[in-house]
Chain A
Amino acid sequence: FYLLLIFCGVFFRCLGISIMVWFTLLFVFIIVPAVLGVSLGIRRLYIVTLLKVFEWATSRMEMGAKEKNQQLYKPYSSGIIAKEPPSSWQQEIQDLRGSASCLRSEPEFEMADIFYFCRRGVESIMDDEVTKCFSAQELESWNLLTRSNYNFRHISLRLTVLWGLGVLIRYGVLLPLRVTLAVTGISLLLVLTTLVGLLPNRELKFFLSEKVHLMCYRICVRALTAIITYHNRENKPKNGGICVANHTTPIDVIILANDGCYSMVGQVHGGLMGMIQRAMVRSSPHIWFERSEVKDRHLVAKRLGDHVADKTKQPILIFPEGTCINNTSVMMFKKGSFEIGCTVYPVAIKYDPRFGDAFWNSSKFGMVNYLLRMMSSWAIVCSVWYLPPMNREEGEDAVQFANRVKAAIAAQGGLVDLIWDGGLKRAKVKDAFKEEQQKLYSKVLVGRRESEIKHFQAWRTM
């Protein structure tokens, strides 16, 4: 019985000491640099090591597969089927004609034309660009996370041990660490912004709120072990403008706010999010809309416009895609933010998928599940490019302007520029697109309509 008591005593002492050690380390190595805005370089060392480990793991897997004479089921981002690019559209139809009726010189409708449409239709059933954007990107090499691997079988003991070790480290060490940091960061944000909001002096309030926001975001960034590289910081958004970026995950906000102060735009939520929103608004001007107000486009435009007109207010941060895309492409930008008529500062964000997939598949995972996954990945590595500011040109309407900005962002981030609407995740295709298709096809036929009609009329009279 005594032994048990002694054992318990020793156990709790050890626990107490280890927790103290833990917190001291945490404080010294993570929180203090975060507060001061200094980086110790630990994170970069961490990812270099990780990369080496991943390479080893992948080569082991390939060796293992070769030994067993099985083929490695390699997922490819290009999909199941080899697709023809749509620019060879007309060429295809001409080819069809060429093989069917080499005697005729004028193109006209052929029964065989249907083949082309059949094939395109079935191809899109098997694999299409749009739905690919809404599922996580597939990786070439394995990063020791079963969630991104199809080949996880027992290939070798060493690999399984390594994976097991990885799980232990991620869930046992990294996750609690990150959760602690996140809790610290959010509570600091709540407390400090409320305090700053109480200050009467306006100048001091602005100054302090900037510092407070930046500090808290830095802590949050460390809570996710996000390693961010900012490029072209001279193009950082300035007051009185709108910052637009491609949207992959709600974490985008933290990533951008880590480097500058923005006014967020969004719907008012309840619960914890709501508390955070209310606290933030006390110290700096954010734009939160009630659910009912979101539908009213004029109201939205007016509030954005008013904010932008006031040059003392921070730039607004907006994600014009309206929904999360999986970071391989950029979808249609909603024109609302481009109609306001102020300077637009485009920003491209590209995540490195090797360390953890940041994409939030909202149909698959809820917010809490997603955050847990994020916090138990190895790291989130991304690059942020600040692009030179753009203004709407003479004779350009909002949609064209939006497309121009979108193209610039896609080019910089190495993403595919798509015409499709992200909102199509849930809604139907616009008729305008259908008309485009019909126009294309009719050009092939009707382009030489005149000659065909004459030919036909001549034939009729014979």
Chain B
Amino acid sequence: MGSSNSSVNNIPNAQELMQETGFSAAHILRLHERFEFLDKHKCGQLRPQDFGAVQELALNPIGDSIISAFFSPGQETVDFASFVRILAHFRPTDRNQSRDGAQQEPANSSIRKLKFAFQMYDQDRDGKISRAELLQVLRAMLGIQVTEEQLQSIAERAIQEADLDRDDAISFDEFRKSLEKVDIDHKMSIRFLR
């Protein structure tokens, strides 16, 4: 902290980011501070190791998947703008949002939130959650607490329920259908203070 000049105008492209993501100036400021805090080497970009330094994230079973969601395929660093864009997925949905056809899907819409969650399962980003990928996620979440058979049966059950076209993998549409009744907006939103 300290007496650094904390104005939104010092952050590059702040206005565009605010427009795009819907964050307020105060939020962008706080997120920028957080970004700078995580950026231990002060190079203006974050690397996977910088995320790894957050202990609570290291405990999270899908911690690695979350980290890789920030990095586009082939990219090794993420700048502040991309950082904020990904975090924008978790803004609470705006109830009275009016969209005309020309406007892009806002970052915090239900579909985008679902896509983010889908990415957690679909590690290789081929658009389908294969049985192996599902098993991997389950293993991360349960560790040594369950046996291999139990794990297999859980995965089997999940695929049976969601896989409608019987191709032994769950596509994004099937994923979406199986979660129709879940209140995604509420579960995948982080409430910002003020």
Contact = CB atoms under 8 A, between A and B. Distances in A.
Interface of A: 71, 73, 75-76, 78-82, 96, 99-102, 108-131, 135-136, 138, 146-150, 152, 364, 420, 424, 428-429, 433-435, 437-439, 441-442, 445-446, 449, 452-453, 456
A100 B51 contact: no
A449 B150 contact: yes
B2 A147 contact: yes
B96 interface: no
A438 B145 contact: yes
Contacts of B81: none
19 contacts: A80-B34, A82-B192, A109-B138, A109-B154, A109-B158, A111-B121, A114-B120, A115-B117, A118-B116, A122-B87, A124-B57, A125-B66, A131-B37, A147-B3, A437-B59, A441-B141, A442-B142, A449-B150, A456-B157
Contacts of B179: 100, 111-112
Interface in B23-75: 26-27, 29-31, 34, 37-38, 51-52, 54-63, 66
B181 A114 contact: no
B17 to A, nearest CB: 15
Given A96-B182, A122-B66, A138 B1 contact: yes
Contact of A441 (B61, B90, B187): B61
Contacts of A445: 142, 146, 154
A118 B154 contact: no
Contact of B145 (A78, A101, A121, A439): A439
Contacts of A439: 143, 145
B184 interface: yes
Given A121-B66, A125-B66, A126-B34, A453 B190 contact: no
Interface string B165-194: 000001000010011011110011111110
A124 to B, nearest CB: 4
Contacts of B51: 125
B30 A118 contact: no
Contacts of B30: 80
Q: How large is the interface on B (under 10, 10 to 19, 20 to 34, 35 or more residues)?
A: 35 or more
B141 A116 contact: no
Given A109-B157, A115-B187, A131-B37, 17 more contacts: A81-B190, A82-B193, A100-B179, A111-B178, A112-B179, A119-B189, A124-B60, A126-B34, A130-B55, A130-B56, A138-B1, A147-B2, A428-B58, A434-B143, A435-B144, A438-B141, A442-B142
B10 to A, nearest CB: 13
A112 B181 CA distance: 10
B61 A117 contact: yes
Contacts of A429: 55, 58-59
A136 B29 CA distance: 18
Given A126-B34, A128-B54, A449-B150, A108 B145 contact: no
A453 B57 contact: no
B162 interface: yes
Contacts of A126: 31, 34, 87, 190
Contacts, number: 175
A444 to B, nearest CB: 10
The 9 A-B residue pairs whose C-beta atoms are closest, nearest first, are A438-B143, A442-B145, A124-B56, A121-B66, A146-B3, A82-B191, A115-B187, A429-B58, A121-B60
Interface in B143-157: 143-146, 150, 153-154, 156-157
Contacts of B54: 124-125, 128, 130-131
A184 B1 CA distance: 33
A345 B171 CA distance: 61
Nearest to B26: A73
Contacts of A115: 117, 182, 184, 187-188
Contacts of B138: 109
Contacts of B156: 456
A148 B190 CA distance: 28
A99 B181 contact: yes
Contact of A135 (B1, B26, B142): B1
Contact of A435 (B141, B143, B158): B143
Interface in B113-142: 116-117, 120-121, 137-138, 141-142
Nearest to B179: A112
Contacts of A128: 54-57
A122 B29 CA distance: 18
A112 B187 contact: yes
Contact of B62 (A118, A131, A135): A118
Contact of A148 (B1, B90, B142, B181): B1
B142 A441 contact: yes
Nearest to A129: B56
